[in-house]
Structures are given as structure tokens and as C-alpha cells.
Structure 1
Amino acid sequence: MIRRRIILMRHAKSAWNQPDLSDHARPLKKRGRKDASTVAARLVALGWVPDETISSDAARAQETVQRMQPFFDPEPPVTFQRTLYHCGMTDVETTLRLLSARVETVLLVGHNPAWEEVLFWLTGLERQLKTAHAALLDLELKKSSVADTRAIWSGLVPPAHRWHLRDVVTPR
């Protein structure tokens, strides 16, 4: 069996008290920094440690990732992408398609409303993703059903495949 997992996480709670900052530049609040660490610890306890992290390049998403990284052993490589700041399904599909076959679990950090839409697109389930919520998705395939294991992530999106929502990890 070939197993692939996605941790679809909304960034932690951000600060709104600095009106001179652009939306893209908003940092995390103190609570957001704590929540990101809490969720990372819970992911590790559940055995959901990413092999790679891909995040929006917005300040609050970057800071969420930076708070989480020390909990993962080994720390996965991180890529910050502008396309995940205001993204659609095509952006997420492209991101997944470009993943290496060695990646079994990927952490994607981004924003609403896109993340709730992506969750619905992948699973067919409507769920609310509040700040610092991480949806745990998985998919198991028989090796014989995958034409090219070097490009394993390439075709793992709807309508060809429907992901399973295993849990939503929250900081509380």
C-alpha cells in the first residue's frame, strides 16, 4: 500500500491591532504563538509529523510554521509560496503535484476561506477551520493502482480520489 497524508492547517491567531500593517504583514498574537506550538505537539503525539511543509508567505503563516518546526524531528524542509496566500484549487493541486514521491505527509499552512474550500474539495465534507485548526487527511492506494510511483502525488485529487478526514486537531 502507498499512503499519503495532508495536514491542512489554517494559520494561528493573528494580531489586528496594527492598522498600518498590510494584511500580508500581520504577525501572530501571543495566543497564536502558543496555539501553533500546542497544535505541533498534538500532531507529534498523534504520529502526524510532516516530511515537508509548504506555507503561504504571509507573515502570520510563516510565524505559525516557525513556531511548529522545533517540535518535528527531524525538522522538515519548508517552502513559503505566495500562491498559497490567496489560493484556489488549482494552486493547491499544482503544489501537491510538485511534491516528491518520498513525501508521505505534507503540512500545508494557509488561510480561509480557501482552506475550508480545499477541505471540501478533497473530502466532500464541510468543516469549519478556525485559526490554528489542522485537518488530518489521508489516502491509501494499492501500488498496482499507481502508474508511476515517482509522480505519486500527481493524480491524487478529485474527482480521481476522495481523501478521508481522520480528525481536526485544535489548540484547545
Structure 2
Amino acid sequence: MKTLTLLRHAKSGWDDPALSDHDRPLNAKGARAATAMGAQVRHLGLKFDHLAASSATRVIETLDHFRRGYGTLPEAPHERTLYLASAGTLLDAIRAFPASADHALLVGHNPGLEDLVLLLSAESNPLRGAVEEKFPTASVAVLELDGDWAGAADGCGHLTTFVRPRDLDPSLGPGHD
């Protein structure tokens, strides 16, 4: 069994209209949320032996702050193909994860991450409703997959954890900028 943890980038800023979407940085709330989520993932005892992440600035900064709460993560290149990737593209990336990896962290964007959770998890899963409602920025979903990475397919996963920043601190939720 493989464990896949999905982390959506934290809240980013729109303060500089000259920046491209790819280059937008985190805002202060996003930085706090990413650090808090890193600490929560550490508290949950999750370990990672593989990391895949989008090349967007907000993803790179999310990981920097996540590490402050979590600790050391595997090194990985930031992949342009994961920037705003669809669930299908993300699934292709997962299928290419090294067979030796058992616990992977994938950091990216919506709607791809949300769609991926819904694709991989069974419809009967009680946590699925919260993901269907919204996969907010800096949220974490953990799926246990049947089989190996190469065989990842529709319904092969069980969603075991879904945590949003507001679950840890209400001030990290909507309406608290």
C-alpha cells in the first residue's frame, strides 16, 4: 500500500497586478497557514520519502513555510507540468513516482487536487463530502492507495484524513484576512 498526501498551496496575494499568476507569492495568512499545516502533519506522524511540487512561486513558498512547522522534506525539483495541472496530469505524475517510495507528498493547485481526491477515493467515503464542498488553500488530504503508484486508477484510494487550516485555527479560515 502507498500513502499519498496532497497539499494545496497556501493563500496567495494579488497585490502586484504586474506579476503573472505563476509568480504570485503567499500573503501573510497563507504563510501562517502553511506553517500550521506543517506542524499538524508532523503531529499526525506522516513521513515522506518522495516529494513532487508545482513550480509556482506560491507552491515554493508554501513548502518553505510548511517545512518550518514540519521539518525536513525530501528534495525535489519544482515541476512546471504540475502548475495548474488537471487530475489526469497529476495521476500521470503519480504513476511515475519511484516504486521504492511508499509515502509521497504532492503539492499543487485546485481544481486539479480536489478532482484527484474525488477520482481516487470511493464515493462512500464520509470525508469525501468535505472535499466536494471545497478543498481550501493549505488543506491536506491523505489517501491510502491499493497497489503501487504505477497502478493508480479511479477508486483505488481510501481518503483517511482531510484537514483545513480553519480546523486548526479559525482565524485561518474564510473572512479572516
Identify whether the pair has TM-score above 0.5, normalized to the shorter chain: yes
Specify which of 92, 95, 102 is matched with residue 93 of structure 2. 95
Deviations 1:119-165 (A, max 9, x none): 11111445121010011111355xxxxxxxxxx3101222xx52111
Task: Select the residue among 7, 10, 34 that pairs with 2:8.
Answer: 10
Matches within 5 A, 1:88-167: 88-123=86-121, 124=123, 125=128, 127=131, 128-141=134-147, 152-158=148-154, 161-167=155-161
Range that drifts further, 88-97 or 112-121: 88-97
Q: Give, in angstroms, the shift of residue 89 of structure 1.
A: 2.9
The residue type equivalent to 1:171 in the other structure is P
Sequence identity of aligned pairs in percent? Answer: 34
Deviates more, 1:99-108 or 1:26-35: 99-108
Taking only aligned residues, the RMSD between alpha carbons, in angstroms, comes to 1.7
**What is the TM-score when the length of structure 2 is the normalising length?**
0.81
Q: Distance in 2 between matches of 1:96 and 1:140?
A: 13
Alpha-carbon distance in 2 for matches of 1:70, 1:78: 17
Does the 8 A contact of 1:8 with 1:108 survive in 2?
yes
CA distance in 1, matches of 2:34, 2:106: 13
Q: How many angstroms apart in 2 are the aligned matches of 1:87 and 1:74?
A: 26
Relative to the length of structure 1, the TM-score reads: 0.84
Distance 1:162 1:140 in 2: 5
- Alpha carbons 1:51, 1:77 under 8 Å: kept: no
Give 1:72 deviation, angstroms: 4.4
Gap runs ≥5 in structure 1: 142-151
4+ runs deviating over 3 angstroms: 70-74
- Give 1:147's aligned residue: none
**Residue pair 1:50, 1:72 contacting (<8 A) in 2 also:** no
Higher relative CO (Cα under 8 Å, sequence separation at least 6) belongs to: 1
Unaligned runs of 5+ in 2: 167-177
Bigger drift between 93-102 and 67-76 goes to 67-76
| Secondary structure of 2:98 counterpart | coil
Q: Relative to total residues, which structure has the larger helix share, 1 or 2?
A: 2
Structure 1 residue 48 corresponds to structure 2 residue 54: no
- 2:25 is aligned to 27
* C-alpha separation in 1, matches of 2:50 and 2:67: 11
Aligned mates of 1:30, 1:46 — CA distance in 2: 25
SS of residue paired to 1:92:
helix
Residue of structure 1 equivalent to 2:57: 59
